[in-house]
């Protein structure tokens, strides 16, 4: 099966757009744009209660400050251009329905990163998040040249735990008090996959077997 990207050299600059035309509807991962501001804010408002239990929060004493949407997009593009992240929004039928980010990219001897995502509640249960995660990981371990990608999920986030298990990611154990979420340090289960585990197949072809 042909993988859903155009192969680019590892040094190719951002932006990178990925399309899975084997999905119905087609799943597109693309960078956020300045002109997406109204749609992005509306999506975030509509899903505030849905994502709040799972999204990172600033711990007490943090000096970080909220930024404007324009600055947010600029920061994402800057991280991507510096090869520290690969941040995409998830698009279905021309509508933004969530985001998936490869972040914490480390090169040299490690060649690894982590991935996180969120999806609109209205799109849940259709396999969109599963496919978006698979597209991102396949790209990271393929054209982007990484060797290992990990996903860390709250131990009580049953829906996300089921997602990574459907993809066959390897469970590595609990990271205690790993991330500050909803006002407290939360335990997470860690999952990972390396290039050797996928061989030439990738995650996308696995979805046809589910």
Distance CA 178, CA 67 (A): 24
In a domain, 4, yes or no: no
Distance CA 52, CA 75 (A): 22
Q: What is the mean pLDDT of residues 145-159?
A: 96
Task: Using the predicted structure, report yes or no on whether residue 10 has a pLDDT greater than 70.
Answer: no
Task: Using the predicted structure, report yes or no on whether residue 207 has a pLDDT greater than 90.
Answer: no
What is the predicted pLDDT for the residue at 1?
36
What is the predicted pLDDT for the residue at 43?
97
CATH code for the domain of 99:
3.40.630.30
In a domain, 166, yes or no: yes
In a domain, 138, yes or no: yes
In a domain, 183, yes or no: yes
For residue range 85-121, what is the model confidence (pLDDT) as tens digits? 999 999 999 999 999 999 999 999 999 999 999 999 9
Helix or strand holding residue 59 (H, E): none
- pTM tops 0.85: yes
CA 49 to chain centre: 20
**How far from 75 is each of 68, 69, 107, 192, 203, CA to CA, in Å?**
10, 10, 20, 26, 29
Which two structure tokens, joined as six digits, stand for 39? 């749609």
In a domain, 11, yes or no: no
**Sequential DSSP letters for 100-163:** EEEEEEE-TTT-EEEEEEEE-GGGTTSSHHHHHHHHHHHHHHTTT--SEEEEEEETT-HHHHHH
Sign of CA dihedral 192, 196, 201, 206: negative
In a domain, 55, yes or no: yes
Q: Looking at residue 25, what DSSP letter applies?
A: S
In a domain, 5, yes or no: no
Paired residues of 115 in beta bridges: 102
Q: Please work out, in degrees rounded to the nearest 5, the angle formed at the alpha carbon of residue 36 by the alpha carbons of 34 and 40.
A: 120
For residue range 24-62, what is the model confidence (pLDDT) as tens digits? 889 999 999 999 999 999 999 999 999 999 999 889 888
In a domain, 2, yes or no: no
Closest CA to 119 of 136, 98, 92, 134: 98
Range of the domain at 99: 18-207
For the chain, the domain total comes to 1
Residue 56's contacts (CB-CB under 8 Å, 6 or more residues apart) are: 179, 180, 181
140 versus 9: which is more confidently predicted? 140
């Amino acid at each position: 099966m042909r993988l859903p990207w155009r192969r680019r050299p590892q040094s190719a600059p951002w932006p990178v757009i990925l399309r899975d035309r084997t999905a119905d509807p087609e799943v597109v991962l693309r960078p956020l744009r300045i002109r997406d501001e109204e749609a992005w804010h509306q999506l975030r408002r509509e899903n505030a209660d849905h994502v709040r239990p799972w999204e990172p929060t600033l711990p007490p004493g943090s000096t970080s400050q909220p930024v404007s949407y324009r600055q947010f997009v600029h920061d994402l593009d800057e991280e991507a251009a510096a090869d520290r992240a690969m941040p995409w929004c998830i698009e279905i039928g021309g509508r933004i329905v969530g985001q998936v980010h490869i972040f914490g990219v480390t090169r040299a001897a490690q060649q690894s990163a982590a991935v996180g995502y969120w999806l609109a509640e209205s799109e849940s249960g259709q396999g969109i998040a599963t496919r978006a995660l698979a597209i991102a990981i396949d790209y990271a371990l393929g054209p982007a040249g990484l060797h290992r990608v990990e996903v860390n999920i709250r131990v009580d986030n049953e829906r996300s735990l089921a997602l990574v298990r459907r993809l066959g990611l390897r469970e590595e154990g609990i990271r205690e008090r790993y991330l500050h979420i909803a006002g407290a340090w939360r335990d997470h289960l860690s999952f990972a996959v390396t290039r050797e585990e996928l061989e030439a197949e990738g995650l996308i072809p696995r979805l046809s077997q589910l």
